[in-house]
Structures are given as C-alpha cells and as structure tokens.
Amino acid sequence: MTTQVLPASDWRSRAEEHAAAVDALTSARLERRADGRKHPVEDFLFEYYNFRPAQLRRWHPGAGVALEGAAERADWPFYSYAGGRASLDVASFAAKRESALLFVRRLLSATLSRPGRFGCFGLHEWAMVYRADDEAIRHGGWPLRLGSSGTDQVVEQATISCSHFDAYRFFTPDAEPLNTLSPTRETQLAMEQPGCLHAGMDIYKWCFKLTPLVPSDLTLDAFRLAREIRELDMRAAPYDLADLGFEPIRIETAEGRAEYAAAQRAFSERSNELRRRLLDVLPAG
C-alpha cells in the first residue's frame, strides 16, 4: 500500500545525492580495479559480498513510496508502474523472496535477543594464517607483523572463540580444533551474537540481498558501518598494513585487547540499531 508520493523533482534529487555519496565511497575501489591494484581492507566489501558499486549506487525508496514520473522503472524487477507512478510491488517481492525474508527476520531477531560477547579479540584472522604456507596466506602480499612463528605463538597462547561460521570456515586445518566453538551453517541462527564483527558487517549483505525492498539509505548506512568494522578487523589482524596507513591494534597485548573490545562494544550497539531498522522495513511473515 502506498503511503507516500514523491514528486519527480524530490526523488530524483534524493537519487542523485545517494549516487554522489556512493561515488565518494567507492571511487578509490574503481581506480584500483582499473589499475589492477589490490587492497586487503577495502576489497573485502566488494569481492566477498559481491555487490558492485553500480548496484549500490542505484537508489530505491523501499515499500510504500510511489515515484511520480518514473516510467524508466516500469521494467525494473519488483516495480509496478501505473497512473504515471512507479512503486515497489511488495506482494510480488514477498512471494518471490519468502525464504530469504523468513531467514533474515529470524536471524536478526535471534541476534538481537542475545548479549554480545567481547572476548574474541579478532583472533579469527590469526587463525586463518596459523601454520600456513606462504602460498596459503590470504593476504600474502603483506608481511605478518610478528612473522610466522610469532603469529603462531599468539594463536597457541590464546583462547579462540569464533562464533561466526563464515569466519571459522577460513581457519587453517591446524587452527580449526583450537576453536572452543563449532559454528556451522546449520547452527547460525543459534550462535549469531551482536558482538561479532562479521555479523555486524553482514547486515550490509542482508540489506542488498533484499533490494529493492530495503530503502537505499539503510543499505548505505549498513555499508558505511561494514567499512568501519572491516578496518577494525584488519587493524587487529596479524598483517603489517602500515604502508596503507593502518595503525595496528596489538591484540597480543593487554592494552590492545582492551582497545579492541571497546571498539567492538561500540560497533555492537550500532549494529543492533541497524538490525532494528532493517526488521522495521521487512513485511511480517
């Protein structure tokens, strides 16, 4: 049901502002891609999540909004066009994406129901290179800050407690049995918790997977948060990224662990706010 009608001048202005904001956030990525350069921090948001800047750039108002004079959207997926107005066909979207909507609602609600855990200290990235050959290191073009033996020693002296399957599945074979938890795809609903950095970044994934139902301003806010979380993730990782301007968080020290946990708590609060916003725009199951 349409609850708001936006004149063409209004929504086109919003769409242009959104595109400009995305351009500012993604221009460096596009330049690097043209030159064939890799970036171990920022590339993750585009390559792992596989949502192109051009897709992020396209503005959607979400459900309940009709756009005057938007004839070009008549053939866009899940849009309907009548009476000179384009709007999202929520019923069609809900029917087509029923399973995805159900899963995301359940996952977000389950995550919100749990307290965050703040004792992992980003050791998942260390477990991904534990006892790994040089060829197997994910970001092999960048040196390990403590070297291979120093990195392995940190892992062996720590308690690994990764609750996120999509991080755990990249652990080296030697690191897998060191994890105190055993996350699987099937247990994701039971294990997801708001202190997890990867769960916070994944809000961006759920937003774009449910495009165009999710308003683009929410998707962009989720992208901005994911970008900040990714920076923390890699500053706490074992790599030396000083040449890229990233000061390490030395989680092998008490001071570094305290710094990481404080940032993790702040991201947990912001992530939960986005989870609530996303749930608010999803149709009831």
Question: Which helix (H) or strand (E) segment is 40 a member of?
Answer: none
In this prediction, residue 248 carries a pLDDT of 97
Domain boundaries, the chain: 4-117+189-281
Q: Note the Cα 140 to chain centre separation in Å.
A: 23
Mean pLDDT of the chain: 94
User: In angstroms, rounded to a whole number, what is the distance separating the alpha carbons of residues 113 and 38?
Assistant: 38
In this prediction, residue 88 carries a pLDDT of 96
In this prediction, residue 51 carries a pLDDT of 85
222-273: pLDDT as tens digits:
999 999 999 999 999 999 999 999 999 999 999 999 999 999 999 999 999 9
Residue 182 has pLDDT above 80, yes or no: yes
CB neighbours of 99 closer than 8 A, spacing ≥ 6? none
Residue 2 has pLDDT above 90, yes or no: no
* Residue 53 φ then ψ, to 5°: -55, -40
In this prediction, residue 36 carries a pLDDT of 83
Mapped onto helix, strand or coil, the DSSP state of residue 201 is: helix
Looking at residues 125-136, what average pLDDT do you find?
88
Residue 34 has pLDDT above 90, yes or no: no
Whole-angstrom CA distances from 255 to 42, 99, 248, 251 are 26, 44, 12, 7
Q: Which is it for the CA torsion 99, 85, 2, 65, positive or negative?
A: positive
Question: Which helix (H) or strand (E) segment is 6 a member of?
Answer: strand 4-6
In this prediction, residue 204 carries a pLDDT of 97
CB neighbours of 6 closer than 8 A, spacing ≥ 6? 14, 61, 65, 66, 67, 68
Mapped onto helix, strand or coil, the DSSP state of residue 260 is: helix
Give me 168's structure tokens.
């755990």
Is 69 within 8 Å of 54 (Cβ atoms)? Answer: no
60-96: pLDDT as tens digits:
999 999 999 999 999 999 999 999 999 999 999 999 9
Q: Which is it for the CA torsion 232, 237, 242, 243, positive or negative?
A: negative
Residue 131 has pLDDT above 70, yes or no: yes
Closest CA to 157 of 134, 127, 181: 127
Mapped onto helix, strand or coil, the DSSP state of residue 142 is: coil
Looking at residues 144-162, what average pLDDT do you find?
96
In this prediction, residue 148 carries a pLDDT of 94
In this prediction, residue 1 carries a pLDDT of 60
Is the whole-model pTM more than 0.85?
A: yes
What proportion of the chain, given as a percentage, has pLDDT over 90?
85
The pLDDT confidence band at residue 282, using thresholds 50, 70 and 90, is very high
User: In angstroms, rounded to a whole number, what is the distance separating the alpha carbons of residues 64 and 211?
Assistant: 14
